[in-house]
Structure formats: C-alpha cells, structure tokens
Amino acid sequence: MSESIAIRARDIGKGFTVGKVTTRVIEGLHVDVLAGELTLLSGPSGCGKSTLLAILSGLERPDAGSVMALGEPVWALDRRALQRFRLHHIGFVFQGFNLFPALDAVEQVELPLSYLDLGAAETRRRAEAALDEVGLAHRRHMRPAELSGGEKQRVAIARALAKRPQLLFADEPTSALDSISGQTVIDILHRAARAHGTMVLCASHDPRLIAHADRVLRMEDGRVLTDEHHPHPPIGLDVSR
C-alpha cells in the first residue's frame, strides 16, 4: 500500500439552504486519501458522499475546513489557479458519461487534451493509447449512439486517463451499467490506481465496488463512520467484453 497522501481534508463542513431551511450535509469531516489506491465512498443516498467528492475535487466550495491536494491548498487558490490545477492534475468520470453526440470516441478523448497544448500528433497518440487501455481501440471511430452504456463509460474513463491525472474522481460510475459492464469499469479504475499510482476516489452505493476497493470509507449523515482497508484483490482485467 502506498503511504503517499494525495488529498488531506480537515474539518470539512457544508450545508445547503432552500428558502429559510439550511440542511447540514457534511459536518467536521476529516479524511486522508492515498495515491495508488482505489478508495470507495460508500453509503446511502443523501449521506454526503457526492458532496464530499465535489469538495475534494475542487468543484464545490465547502463552508468550512481545508483541502490539501498534491500539496496545494485547493480552496485558497484563486479561480484561474484552481481551473489550471484541475486541468493538469484531475480527471473526472460521471454517471451520465457526458459525451458529445457528434464526436466519435477518439475525438471525445482528444477534447480535454486540446487545452494542454500538446500538439495534434501527441494529442491523437495519447487519445488512442487511452482508448487502447480501456479496450476500445477498435471502436475509436464510433459515436455515442453506436456504443453500449458500458462502452460509453469506458470512453469517459479514457478521456479522464488521457490527461494522465494524479487524482481521478468517479461519481456513481457503474450505477447505470449491467453487471458485466460494471465489472469491467471497476477493473479499469482499479488498474488505473495500480498501474499509474493514481489516487482513484469513487462515490457509489454499488455493492460490487466494495470487494474491489483497496479502502472503503462508509459515510452516514455527513460523517465517515468506518474506514476499512482491504487486501489487494486480483485485478483480472478483461476489457474485451
């Protein structure tokens, strides 16, 4: 197990106000997340796991507390510095895939790379390598309408991995997938942590993820109730499915 702390969060608090009612979603939360591991935020809907994911990834500002990511004080950065940090160091995978209907798979993966000024040849090389890593090299010229749900999610993961992020966040990455596609996605995320030393943090209530996570943080009512470390399970990656 790597002991390199990728993210350190202290005393995180967050609430949302609707009308005159404020609901506290997270209160006084402390957590460290390690590089080279697949860490799962588990818990019932509404427990605060997606909100915590957004705070740690620089998408949602907390009401209180601090987040250090790769040694950077995330919420002390100005807007431009935070955008630059996310661009260069963070990858995102979402439940809804967030693919563009008019772009084929390789173009989907190239899109965020275009902001890194890599040049056309390196951008295409990275995009194709990322699609090959998730087992979709043969589908690189297919558009979303021609892909299954599992394949769409694998394109989304390739898009995140192509940036070579040190921090990868996934919000309910398997909830819309059948068991075989979901298993493939889990294996790809786990391999990303192992092969690249990436911190992979997933928020999910999918029980399939628990057996494959290196660590499970069980949340309830905005707090981490238990912190379980699992022995490294075999990856058994088969991306041909």
Calculate the average pLDDT of the chain: 90
Q: What is the pLDDT of residues 10-68, one digit of tens each?
A: 999 999 988 888 888 999 999 999 999 999 999 888 889 999 999 999 999 999 999 99
With tokens 């194709």, the residue in question is 128
pLDDT of residue 240: 45
pLDDT of residue 232: 60
Neighbours of 83 (CB within 10 A): 13
Question: Sheet harboring 72-73: ordered strands across?
Answer: 21-34, 5-18, 64-69, 72-73
DSSP characters over 134-188: TT-GGGTT--GGGS-HHHHHHHHHHHHHTT--SEEEEESTTTTS-HHHHHHHHHH
Residue 241 above 50 pLDDT?
no
User: For the chain, what percent of residues have pLDDT higher than 90?
Assistant: 70
The answer to whether residue 134 is domain-embedded is yes
| pLDDT band for position 170 (cuts 50, 70, 90) | very high
Are the CB atoms for 135 and 183 separated by under 8 Å? no
Q: What is the pLDDT of residues 136-163, one digit of tens each?
A: 999 999 999 999 999 999 999 999 999 9
Bridge partners (DSSP) of residue 64 are: 13
How many domains are there within the chain?
1
The answer to whether residue 241 is domain-embedded is no
The answer to whether residue 237 is domain-embedded is no
The answer to whether residue 239 is domain-embedded is no
Q: pTM of the full predicted structure?
A: 0.90
What does the angle CA 191 – CA 93 – CA 188 come to, to the nearest 5 degrees? 20
The answer to whether residue 111 is domain-embedded is yes
Q: What is the pLDDT of residues 102-124, one digit of tens each?
A: 999 999 999 999 899 899 999 99
Question: What CATH number does residue 80 fall under?
Answer: 3.40.50.300
The answer to whether residue 57 is domain-embedded is yes
The answer to whether residue 196 is domain-embedded is yes
Bridge partners (DSSP) of residue 223 are: 220
* Residue 156: closest CA among 176, 185, 182, 179: 185
* Residue 70: closest CA among 212, 192, 165, 185: 165
How far is residue 241's CA from residue 239's CA, in Å, rounded to a whole number?
Answer: 5
The answer to whether residue 235 is domain-embedded is no
For the record, the structure tokens of 118 come out as: 């890599």
Query: Which structural domain, as residue segments, surrounds residue 180?
Result: 5-229
Residue 8 above 50 pLDDT?
yes
pLDDT of residue 46: 84
Q: Which DSSP state fits 28?
A: E
User: For the chain, what percent of residues have pLDDT higher than 70?
Assistant: 94
Q: What is the pLDDT of residues 182-237, one digit of tens each?
A: 888 889 999 999 988 999 999 998 888 888 899 999 999 889 999 998 866 555 44
